[in-house]
Structure 1
Amino acid sequence: MPMLVLPQELTHRQAPACLRMLLQGLKVHKEPNVVVDAQALALFDTSALAVLLECRREALSDRKTFAVQGLPAALASMAGLYGVAELLPAA
């Protein structure tokens, strides 16, 4: 199962490069299950949610499953606040 890893910092400034990296990883890995490892994520804003949701959209459009491992509690709370928590299932 491919493991895509988020950086320690994912704010508006890093979001475009991080998304490009994740989407490239999706193309390289042909397995049907995708897991994004968010354990290293320490500094983030709502851009992190946008990146994860776009990665999920791309994975699902490629007929792959999508899950997140180690989502920080504050980011999980933010996802709940915006009503998207169920779109970021835990691995």
Structure 2
Amino acid sequence: MLLLPATVTMEDARDALGMLEQALKREPEGDIVIDASGLQQFDTALIALLLECERLAQAWGKRMSVRHMPPKLASLAKLYGVDGLLQLEASAAAV
């Protein structure tokens, strides 16, 4: 399981993507789970970051899902119409 940093905004999304890209490469074949439970501050850059991670995972023959997402992340994904592209699982508190 890969952990998202506490903050993913326009200012630090490039660094977060680099870290996640390296981690995605190291993950064994099959499912990749990204844990969003530690997210405290984020903006729409997180949606772009997750879409890029999904694209990379598919290119490497892997499947990706996001667990423990905050309700705001689900709302952003739905607003931008990408909730169907990302495998997002709500946190227990949000259900």
TM-score interval (norm. to shorter) = over 0.9
CA distance in 2, matches of 1:75, 1:30: 27
**Is the CA contact 2:74–2:88 (under 8 Å) kept in the aligned structure 1?**
no
Report what 1:78 is aligned to: 76
CA distance in 2, matches of 1:64, 1:73: 26
- The SS at the match of 2:22 is helix
**Is the CA contact 2:5–2:38 (under 8 Å) kept in the aligned structure 1?**
yes
Correspondence list, 1:23-34, <5 A = 23-34=21-32
CA distance in 2, matches of 1:75, 1:40: 13
Report what 1:57 is aligned to: 55
Correspondence list, 1:9-24, <5 A = 9-24=7-22
Shift of 1:28: 1.0
Compute the RMSD of aligned alpha carbons. 1.0
- The SS at the match of 1:36 is strand
Structure 1 gap segments, 5+ residues each: none
CA offsets per residue over residues 18-67 of structure 1, 9 Å max, x none?
A: 00000000111123110110111110000001101100000011111110
Shift of 1:71: 1.1
CA distance in 2, matches of 1:18, 1:90: 19
Report what 1:38 is aligned to: 36
The code of the aligned residue for 1:10 comes to V
The code of the aligned residue for 1:28 comes to R
Structure 2 gap segments, 5+ residues each: 90-95
- The SS at the match of 1:30 is coil
The normalised TM-score by structure 2 is: 0.89
